[in-house]
Amino acid sequence: MRTSLSALTLLLVANFAHATVFKCIGADGRVTYTNDRSVAGSCSPLNPDQPISTIPPPQRPTAAPARSTPTPATRQSGASTSPGNFPRVSPEAQRARDDSRRQILESELAAEQQALQDARAELNDLESRGFDDSANGARALERLRPFQDAVQLHERNIEAIQGELRRLR
Protein backbone atom coordinates (compact mmCIF):
# COMPACT_ATOMS: atom_id res chain seq x y z
CA MET A 1 0.00 0.00 0.00
CA ARG A 2 2.80 2.39 0.89
CA THR A 3 4.49 1.84 -2.50
CA SER A 4 1.29 2.51 -4.44
CA LEU A 5 0.68 5.69 -2.42
CA SER A 6 4.22 6.91 -3.21
CA ALA A 7 3.75 6.13 -6.90
CA LEU A 8 0.41 7.98 -6.95
CA THR A 9 1.96 11.01 -5.24
CA LEU A 10 4.84 10.99 -7.72
CA LEU A 11 2.43 10.93 -10.66
CA LEU A 12 0.40 13.83 -9.25
CA VAL A 13 3.52 15.94 -8.63
CA ALA A 14 4.88 15.18 -12.11
CA ASN A 15 1.53 16.13 -13.63
CA PHE A 16 1.48 19.49 -11.80
CA ALA A 17 5.15 20.17 -12.57
CA HIS A 18 4.47 19.99 -16.30
CA ALA A 19 3.23 23.39 -17.43
CA THR A 20 1.90 24.37 -20.80
CA VAL A 21 4.11 26.86 -22.57
CA PHE A 22 2.49 29.47 -24.78
CA LYS A 23 4.08 31.34 -27.68
CA CYS A 24 2.94 34.95 -27.92
CA ILE A 25 3.61 37.30 -30.83
CA GLY A 26 3.23 40.97 -29.93
CA ALA A 27 1.90 43.79 -32.13
CA ASP A 28 5.51 44.76 -32.88
CA GLY A 29 6.31 41.20 -34.00
CA ARG A 30 8.36 40.35 -30.91
CA VAL A 31 8.02 36.72 -29.79
CA THR A 32 7.74 35.90 -26.09
CA TYR A 33 7.08 32.67 -24.25
CA THR A 34 5.07 32.27 -21.05
CA ASN A 35 3.53 29.59 -18.87
CA ASP A 36 1.08 32.01 -17.22
CA ARG A 37 -2.42 31.22 -18.48
CA SER A 38 -3.75 34.65 -17.45
CA VAL A 39 -1.27 36.40 -19.74
CA ALA A 40 -1.54 33.89 -22.58
CA GLY A 41 -5.07 34.84 -23.70
CA SER A 42 -4.46 35.05 -27.46
CA CYS A 43 -1.24 33.01 -27.45
CA SER A 44 -0.92 29.57 -28.98
CA PRO A 45 0.15 26.59 -26.84
CA LEU A 46 3.33 24.84 -27.89
CA ASN A 47 3.70 21.15 -28.46
CA PRO A 48 5.55 19.77 -25.38
CA ASP A 49 7.95 17.91 -27.68
CA GLN A 50 8.82 21.08 -29.64
CA PRO A 51 12.12 22.66 -28.51
CA ILE A 52 12.08 26.33 -27.52
CA SER A 53 14.95 28.39 -28.85
CA THR A 54 15.12 31.98 -27.66
CA ILE A 55 18.58 32.74 -29.02
CA PRO A 56 18.96 32.95 -32.80
CA PRO A 57 21.89 31.03 -34.28
CA PRO A 58 24.96 33.09 -35.18
CA GLN A 59 25.16 34.24 -38.76
CA ARG A 60 28.22 33.20 -40.73
CA PRO A 61 29.93 36.04 -42.56
CA THR A 62 29.84 35.68 -46.31
CA ALA A 63 33.03 37.66 -46.85
CA ALA A 64 35.84 39.07 -44.79
CA PRO A 65 34.83 42.28 -42.97
CA ALA A 66 35.85 45.43 -44.77
CA ARG A 67 38.62 47.43 -43.15
CA SER A 68 37.75 50.97 -42.31
CA THR A 69 39.66 53.61 -44.19
CA PRO A 70 41.16 56.41 -42.16
CA THR A 71 39.58 59.82 -42.38
CA PRO A 72 41.61 62.71 -43.80
CA ALA A 73 42.19 64.08 -40.29
CA THR A 74 43.52 60.70 -39.15
CA ARG A 75 45.78 60.38 -42.19
CA GLN A 76 47.32 63.81 -41.62
CA SER A 77 47.93 63.70 -37.88
CA GLY A 78 48.23 59.96 -37.38
CA ALA A 79 47.29 60.48 -33.72
CA SER A 80 43.51 60.55 -33.81
CA THR A 81 41.65 57.26 -34.09
CA SER A 82 38.15 58.69 -33.70
CA PRO A 83 35.71 58.16 -36.56
CA GLY A 84 35.03 60.98 -39.00
CA ASN A 85 31.50 61.53 -37.70
CA PHE A 86 32.70 61.88 -34.09
CA PRO A 87 31.38 65.16 -32.61
CA ARG A 88 33.95 67.92 -32.55
CA VAL A 89 34.12 70.85 -30.17
CA SER A 90 35.23 74.25 -31.30
CA PRO A 91 38.50 75.52 -29.81
CA GLU A 92 36.64 78.36 -28.07
CA ALA A 93 34.18 75.95 -26.43
CA GLN A 94 37.03 73.67 -25.33
CA ARG A 95 38.93 76.64 -23.90
CA ALA A 96 35.80 77.68 -21.96
CA ARG A 97 35.43 74.12 -20.63
CA ASP A 98 39.09 74.03 -19.62
CA ASP A 99 38.79 77.42 -17.88
CA SER A 100 35.71 76.23 -16.01
CA ARG A 101 37.45 73.03 -14.98
CA ARG A 102 40.51 75.01 -13.84
CA GLN A 103 38.31 77.27 -11.67
CA ILE A 104 36.61 74.26 -10.09
CA LEU A 105 39.94 72.57 -9.39
CA GLU A 106 41.42 75.75 -7.95
CA SER A 107 38.47 76.18 -5.59
CA GLU A 108 38.76 72.51 -4.54
CA LEU A 109 42.48 73.03 -3.99
CA ALA A 110 41.84 76.07 -1.79
CA ALA A 111 39.24 74.13 0.25
CA GLU A 112 41.63 71.18 0.71
CA GLN A 113 44.47 73.50 1.74
CA GLN A 114 42.21 75.10 4.35
CA ALA A 115 41.10 71.68 5.59
CA LEU A 116 44.76 70.61 5.82
CA GLN A 117 45.59 73.71 7.88
CA ASP A 118 42.69 72.98 10.23
CA ALA A 119 43.63 69.30 10.58
CA ARG A 120 47.29 70.16 11.27
CA ALA A 121 46.29 72.76 13.86
CA GLU A 122 44.05 70.25 15.64
CA LEU A 123 46.77 67.58 15.54
CA ASN A 124 49.40 70.02 16.84
CA ASP A 125 47.05 71.08 19.63
CA LEU A 126 46.56 67.49 20.74
CA GLU A 127 50.27 66.67 20.44
CA SER A 128 51.25 69.74 22.50
CA ARG A 129 49.38 68.35 25.50
CA GLY A 130 52.25 65.87 25.91
CA PHE A 131 52.21 62.18 26.70
CA ASP A 132 54.14 60.04 29.11
CA ASP A 133 55.42 56.55 28.38
CA SER A 134 52.78 54.82 30.47
CA ALA A 135 49.82 52.83 29.18
CA ASN A 136 47.74 56.03 29.12
CA GLY A 137 50.34 57.59 26.83
CA ALA A 138 50.05 54.69 24.39
CA ARG A 139 46.27 55.02 24.45
CA ALA A 140 46.57 58.76 23.85
CA LEU A 141 48.91 58.16 20.90
CA GLU A 142 46.33 55.76 19.49
CA ARG A 143 43.70 58.51 19.79
CA LEU A 144 45.92 60.72 17.62
CA ARG A 145 45.84 58.23 14.74
CA PRO A 146 42.57 59.53 13.17
CA PHE A 147 43.94 63.08 13.21
CA GLN A 148 47.21 61.97 11.60
CA ASP A 149 45.22 60.05 8.99
CA ALA A 150 43.14 63.16 8.24
CA VAL A 151 46.30 65.21 7.67
CA GLN A 152 47.67 62.56 5.30
CA LEU A 153 44.36 62.36 3.44
CA HIS A 154 44.28 66.13 2.83
CA GLU A 155 47.93 66.06 1.69
CA ARG A 156 47.14 63.29 -0.84
CA ASN A 157 44.06 65.18 -2.06
CA ILE A 158 46.13 68.32 -2.59
CA GLU A 159 48.72 66.36 -4.58
CA ALA A 160 46.00 64.83 -6.76
CA ILE A 161 44.34 68.17 -7.47
CA GLN A 162 47.69 69.76 -8.31
CA GLY A 163 48.35 66.87 -10.72
CA GLU A 164 45.02 67.50 -12.42
CA LEU A 165 45.83 71.20 -12.73
CA ARG A 166 49.21 70.36 -14.33
CA ARG A 167 47.48 68.12 -16.89
CA LEU A 168 45.16 70.90 -18.05
CA ARG A 169 46.13 72.59 -21.30
DSSP letter, residue 21: -
- Residues 161 and 148: their CA atoms lie apart, in Å, by 20
In a domain, 98, yes or no: yes
Total domains, the chain: 2
Could you report the per-residue pLDDT of 59-82, keeping only the tens digit for each?
Answer: 877 766 555 555 554 444 445 566
| pLDDT mean across residues, the chain | 76
Same-domain status, 100 and 157: yes
Same-domain status, 95 and 36: no
Residue 129 has pLDDT above 90, yes or no: no
Q: Could you list the residue range(s) of the whole structural domain that residue 114 is in?
A: 91-167
In a domain, 62, yes or no: no
- Residues 22 and 47: their CA atoms lie apart, in Å, by 9
